[in-house]
């Protein structure tokens, strides 16, 4: 998903691009490297759905992930010679299903299990069976089943979120660790133990009903939030954003809003994601370089998404006292309503962050409050708060702390100190685009032009 994206819910399309004809009309040969890039793009798009469908059949998310990876290995072996299939997603699914049958046979599993998988394969082509499945399931979405399964109460909250991010988005353990601000080995252990716990407990692959659904809803919302965050500002790699992840999170959020229409925080989350997603086209320049909030062309903000977000926020506020997601959506709405950065209601944003800190305190909320206060009342006010956060363990490896501090120092005319902070932030980030931005800011820190980071609040540590 780093370079290619697909419309939410689509399946079976080739998302790569073939070489263009040369001047003499001859199309150059597709190299193995081209094919491998295309396979990588297809895999990033198809893997979550592939794992979700396999998990529904084998009732084991760990085995489903292994089977999906087996299909990928076979694709890497065959596609460079045979070419990319017209429907690569279907090819991967069929290959993974056959591997599932082979594995079950070789491991001498019960014939009953073998028959269940065979029936699932037959049902895929049986419209009557497909209709019965749809009637039996009020959502009919394997991805959402996967989210609810990974958020089962048998797992600790941290494990639920980490496992779902791994399976739903294909994030690496390092990327998840950065999202959690947690050590990578800790996250890796959570994922392994979570898969084992779900398998040993025989957790059904289904969307829960009644009280069980409400119990798992908060964890599901957090998962969707983190998926969007990773798409909005990628933690690592060569791309500033991963729009397909944002699209997937939006789709899941909208489905959840239909599933739980009386839950204020569901609508609060949807409002937040809609408004934040409205900026995606303006967040990157022609070469993919980051464009921060105050430099963005607001004419490129998607007004339809903003209207949808404001409507969802109104719905959330009508249902009760605003929770963390609704408060963040209200902050995003302040930006969306402002004709320009100079006309932004920064005191209102600072007050909303203060309210957020009351119900969901974290060092990162404080860091964002410091930025808002600096915009409203001057950089010295923000610097005082940031300096108080310097010893917070959760922010030791968080690159936005020195980045924000560098911005305040630059505005205060302390240019050498500002340069050092930007350089420190650049060394800490694993995103190439963000690193280049910070290096440039270090080099140009004498121009006095401050920036407000256009980023989404990461989760509390």
* DSSP sequence for 270-315: HHHHHHHHTTGGGSB-TTS-B--GGGS-GGGS-HHHHHHHHHHHHH
Total residues found in the chain within this entry: 461
Domain that holds residue 36: 1-11+30-136
**Residue pair 454/296 in contact by the 8 Å Cβ criterion:** yes
Tell me whether residue 458 is in a domain.
Answer: yes
Total domain count for the chain? 2
| CA dist., res. 450 & res. 410, Å (int) | 7
What is the C-alpha to C-alpha distance for residues 260 and 264, in angstroms, rounded to an integer? 9
* Collapsed DSSP state (helix, strand, coil) of residue 250: helix
Q: Are 163 and 152 in contact (CB under 8 A)?
A: no
Assess if residue 365 is contained within a domain.
yes
Residue holding tokens 């109460």?
Answer: 153
Residue 455 belongs to a domain with what CATH number? 1.25.40.10
Say if 196 falls within a structural domain: no
Q: What is the pLDDT of residue 323?
A: 95
> What's residue 129's pLDDT?
45
Q: Which of 101, 121, 136 is the last residue of a domain?
A: 136
Q: What pLDDT, in 10s, does the model give residues 12-33?
A: 222 233 333 334 433 334 455 7
Q: Kindly report the backbone phi and psi dihedral angles of residue 290, in degrees, each rounded to the nearest multiple of 5, phi listed first.
A: -65, 140
Quote the distance between the C-alpha of residue 207 and its chain's center.
Answer: 21
**pLDDT the model gives residue 452:** 65
Rounded CA-CA distance 137/359 in Å is 35
Domain assignment present for residue 377? The answer is yes
Q: Using the 8-state DSSP alphabet, how is residue 406 labeled?
A: H
Query: What is the pTM assigned to this prediction?
Result: 0.70
CB 335 within 8 A of CB 435: no
Q: Is 254 helix (H, G, I), strand (E, B) or coil?
A: helix
391-422 per-residue burial string, b: 16 or more CB within 10 A, e: under 16: ebebbeebbbbbbbbbbbbbbbebeebbbbbb
Q: Tell me which of 107, 136, 165 is where a domain ends.
A: 136
Q: Is residue 368 part of a domain?
A: yes
If phi > 0 it is left, if psi is from -120 to 50 it is alpha, else beta; for residue 460 that is: beta
Q: Is the dihedral of CA 176, 177, 182, 186 positive or negative?
A: positive
- pLDDT lower than 70: segments of the chain: 1-32, 107-140, 179-181, 446-453, 455-461
**What's the pLDDT score for residue 456?**
54
Considering Cα of 211, then 216, then 220, then 221, what sign does the dihedral take? positive
User: Which of 136, 170, 196 finishes a domain?
Assistant: 136
Q: Is residue 211 part of a domain?
A: no
Task: Give the side-chain half-sphere CA count within 13 A for 326.
Answer: 21
Which pLDDT does position 401 carry in this prediction? 96
The answer to whether position 407 is within a domain reads: yes
Pairing of strands 236-237, 430-431: parallel
For residue 434, tell me if it sits in a domain. yes
pLDDT, residue 4, reads 27
3-state secondary structure (DSSP) of residue 364? helix
pLDDT for residue 244: 83
Residue 121 has what pLDDT? Answer: 54
Give the pLDDT confidence score for residue 25 in this predicted structure. Answer: 39
């Amino acid at each position: 998903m780093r370079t290619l994206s697909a419309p939410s819910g689509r399946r079976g399309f080739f998302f790569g691009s073939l070489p263009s004809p040369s001047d003499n009309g001859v199309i150059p040969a597709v190299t193995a490297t081209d094919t491998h890039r295309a396979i990588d793009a297809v895999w990033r798009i198809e893997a979550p759905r592939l794992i979700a469908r396999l998990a529904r059949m084998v009732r084991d998310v760990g085995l489903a992930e292994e089977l999906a990876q087996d299909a990928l290995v076979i694709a890497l072996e065959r596609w460079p010679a045979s070419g990319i299939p017209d429907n690569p997603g279907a090819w991967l699914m069929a290959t993974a299903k056959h591997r599932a049958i082979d594995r079950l046979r070789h491991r001498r599993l019960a014939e009953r299990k073998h028959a269940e998988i065979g029936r699932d394969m037959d049902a895929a082509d049986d419209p009557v069976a497909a209709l019965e499945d749809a009637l039996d399931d009020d959502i009919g979405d394997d991805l959402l089943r996967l989210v609810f399964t990974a958020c089962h109460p048998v797992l600790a909250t941290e494990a639920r979120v980490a496992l779902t991010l791994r399976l739903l988005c294909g994030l690496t353990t390092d990327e998840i660790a950065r999202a959690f601000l947690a050590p990578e080995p800790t996250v890796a252990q959570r994922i392994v133990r979570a898969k084992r716990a779900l398998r040993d407990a025989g957790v059904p692959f289904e969307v829960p009903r009644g009280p069980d659904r409400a119990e798992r809803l908060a964890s599901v919302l957090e998962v969707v939030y983190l998926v969007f965050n990773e798409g909005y500002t990628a933690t690592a790699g060569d791309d500033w954003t991963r729009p397909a992840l944002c699209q997937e999170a939006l789709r899941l959020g909208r489905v959840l809003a239909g599933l739980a229409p009386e839950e204020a925080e569901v609508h609060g989350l949807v409002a937040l994601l809609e408004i934040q997603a409205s900026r995606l086209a303006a967040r990157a320049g022609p070469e993919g370089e980051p464009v921060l909030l105050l430099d963005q062309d607001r004419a490129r903000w998607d007004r339809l998404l903003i209207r949808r977000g404001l409507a969802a926020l109104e719905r959330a506020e009508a249902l009760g006292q605003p929770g963390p997601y609704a408060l963040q959506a209200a902050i995003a709405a302040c930006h969306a309503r402002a004709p320009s950065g100079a006309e932004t209601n920064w005191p209102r944003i600072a007050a909303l962050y203060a309210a957020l800190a009351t119900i969901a305190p974290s060092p990162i909320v404080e860091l964002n409050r410091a930025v808002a206060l600096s915009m409203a009342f001057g950089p010295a006010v923000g610097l005082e708060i940031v300096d108080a956060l310097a010893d917070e363990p959760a922010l030791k490896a968080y690159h936005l702390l020195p980045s924000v501090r560098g911005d305040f120092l630059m505005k205060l005319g302390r240019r050498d100190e500002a340069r050092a902070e930007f350089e420190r932030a650049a060394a800490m980030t694993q995103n190439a685009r963000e690193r280049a931005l910070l290096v440039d800011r270090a080099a140009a820190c004498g121009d006095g032009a401050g920036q407000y980071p256009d980023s989404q609040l990461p989760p509390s540590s």
